[in-house]
A and B are shown apart, each in its own frame.
Chain A
C-alpha cells in the first residue's frame, strides 16, 4: 500500500484514532457527572475554591461553572466532535461525488436545470442555511440516546455540503473530458461506465481524498459557528449552566463547550480557551494532513488542462491546483487557501 508513504497523514490519523478510542471508552473509566465538585476543600478542610475552579492539581484543566471537570468533559465529548466531522465529510464526498458523476455523464441534459435548483447553496453561506435548518431540533432536551439526534444533525450538515462537492466533481469531469486520452477512449467505443472505471476513477480517487480533508475542515468550522448560536451537536441537556443564561450542551461536544461558554472569556477564560485550543489542535492536525496530501499529488488533472499560456509549462505545481476551483466555481469558501 502506498498509504504508508504519507508519514504525517498516518501520524495525524493515528492521533485522531487514539483520541476517538479513548473517548469511546469513557464509560469504563470516567464518572458520569464529570467529577462534579461544588466546594473544593484542601486536606485541612478549608474551602479552597468554588466553581469555576481554575487549573490546579485536582482539576488539571480546571472546572466549569457547574463544577464539572473540563478534562473529563473534553475526553467525553471528543467522540462526538470527531464522529460528526468524519461522518459528515465522508457522506458529503460519497453522495456528492456519485451525484456529480451521474449528472455529468449520464444526465448531462438536465444538468443545467439541476444546477439552477441548487443555486441556493451558491447564494446563501452555509452557516446561515444550517442555522435555519437546524434550529427546530436544536432546542430539544435529549435525555437518553444521543445518537439519534446526532444522526439527524449529521444528515442536515451533509445536505448543506453535498452541492459543493457535486459541483467540484462535475467541474473535474468536465475538465477531464476535454483531454485527448478520454476523447480517444470514447472514440474507440468505450461506454460511459467503461471510461469512468478506467480513466476517470484514478483521477477522482486522489481528488476525493483531498476533498474529504477539505470537507473535514469545513465541517469543523461550521460546527464551531453553530456552537456560538447555541445549536449544539447532540442536543441540549436539562441541567442549567449555573450563573449564566445559556443552554447546556448535552453531548459535551467541543464546539458546544466553546459556544456555551463564549461569554466566559473575561471572567474565567480557561473554561472557553481549553476546548477552543483542543479544537485548534485538531484543525492543525487535519491541515497538516491536507498539506502533505496536496504536495504529494503532483499528478493533478486540473493543472494540466488549465493551459495558462502565460505560464511556462514546467512550472505547474500545487499552486495551480488551488487556482482552478476559484476561477471555475465559487464553491471553495472555507479556509483552504493554505497549501
Chain B
C-alpha cells in the first residue's frame, strides 16, 4: 500500500510526460511545404517538451485555469455532457428492451433480425447521419412536423436530433452484444432447470437471465461510451453545434495545462464507466472464487 502511494508521483510524471510528447509530435515530425519533404527536428522538439513540462510545475498558476472554463466554457461542457448522459441512458434502456423483446420471438424470426443488425453495424456513421437527417427533413416536408431543430446556431442548442444520431449506432452494437450474451446464458444449467420445471419463457428471460446479464452491460458500456465520445465530437462539428468540441479546439492554441485539463474533463464519463465496470468485474471474480 505504501509502495503504491510512493509510486503515484512517478506515475503522474509518466502520464504528463506522455501527454506532452504526444502533443508535440507535430513539432518533431514536420512536413515542409516548400521543399515537399518530411523533416525531423529533434532539438526543437526537446525544447518544446521541456518548456511544456515547465508549465506543469507552475503550481501557483493552477487556480487561474478555472478562468478558462468559467462562463461559456462550462455551459458548453454541461450541454455536451447532458447530451452524452441522456444518450447513454437511452442506449442502455433501448438496447435492453429490444434485445429482450427479440429473444422472445421465435428462433427463425430472431435470426433474421440479428442478421439485419449485423449488417447495420457495418454501416459507416456518416451514412447514418445523412439518413437520419433526411428522415427529419422528410417528416417536416410531408407531415409538417417541426419538432426537431436540426442545426445549431449562435445561441441555439438542439437536443433531440444530436441525441437521435449519437444513440442510433451504439444501441445497435449493444443489442448485438446483448443477443450474444443472451445466447450464451440460454445454455446455462439454471435456465434448463427452470424450463424443465415449467416456468414460462417470459419469466425466465425477464426475471433470471436479464438480471444475470446486467453486469455485462456495464462492461460493454466502456467500449460504447468510448465510441460515443468520438461520435459526439464529429456530430457537433457536422451540425455546427457550439458544444464542448468547439471549446476544446479553441483550447489547443492556449497553454498545455489548460488543454490537458480540457481533455481530462472530456474523458470524465469514461472514468466513471471504467470505475463502475472494474467494480463489477471485481465482484464477479469474488463470486466466482466463492462458488468454488
Contacts and interface: CB of A to CB of B under 8 A. Distances in A.
A binds B: yes
B68 to A, nearest CB: 17
Contacts of A337: 121, 173, 176-177, 223
Given A116-B18, A312-B187, A280 B263 contact: no
Contact of B25 (A140, A144, A156): A156
B264 interface: yes
A123 B16 CA distance: 13
Contacts of B21: 117
A265 B25 CA distance: 36
Given A133-B25, A265-B130, A125 B226 contact: yes
Contact of A333 (B37, B118, B223, B237): B223
A94 interface: no
B37 A148 contact: yes
A120 B248 contact: no
Interface in B4-34: 10-11, 14-15, 17-19, 21-23, 25-26, 29-31, 33
Which of A137, A142, A283, A335 is the most central at the interface, judged by chain B CB atoms within 10 Å of its CB? A335
Interface stretch (A72-80, A180-188, A196-204, A224-232): A224-232
A276 B270 CA distance: 30
A283 B127 CA distance: 12
A128 B233 contact: yes
Contacts of B188: 310-311
B237 A156 contact: no
Contacts of A136: 26, 30-31
A312 to B, nearest CB: 7
Contact of A123 (B130, B176, B245, B267): B267
Interface in A107-151: 113, 116-121, 123-129, 131-134, 136-137, 140-142, 144-145, 148-149, 151
A96 to B, nearest CB: 15
B122 interface: yes
Nearest to A318: B180
Contacts of A334: 227
B124 interface: yes
B248 A128 contact: yes
B25 A280 contact: no
Contacts of B177: 337
B84 to A, nearest CB: 12
B230 A276 contact: no
A327 B219 contact: yes
Contacts of A167: none
A310 B14 contact: no
Nearest to A121: B22
B30 to A, nearest CB: 8
B254 interface: no
Nearest to A151: B38
A129 B230 CA distance: 10
13 contacts: A116-B18, A123-B270, A127-B230, A128-B263, A129-B22, A149-B36, A224-B125, A276-B124, A276-B130, A284-B122, A309-B291, A315-B187, A338-B176
Instruction: Identify the 10 closest CB pairs spanning chains A and B, nearest first.
Output: A117-B18, A125-B230, A116-B14, A127-B230, A123-B267, A140-B33, A152-B31, A333-B226, A287-B122, A137-B31
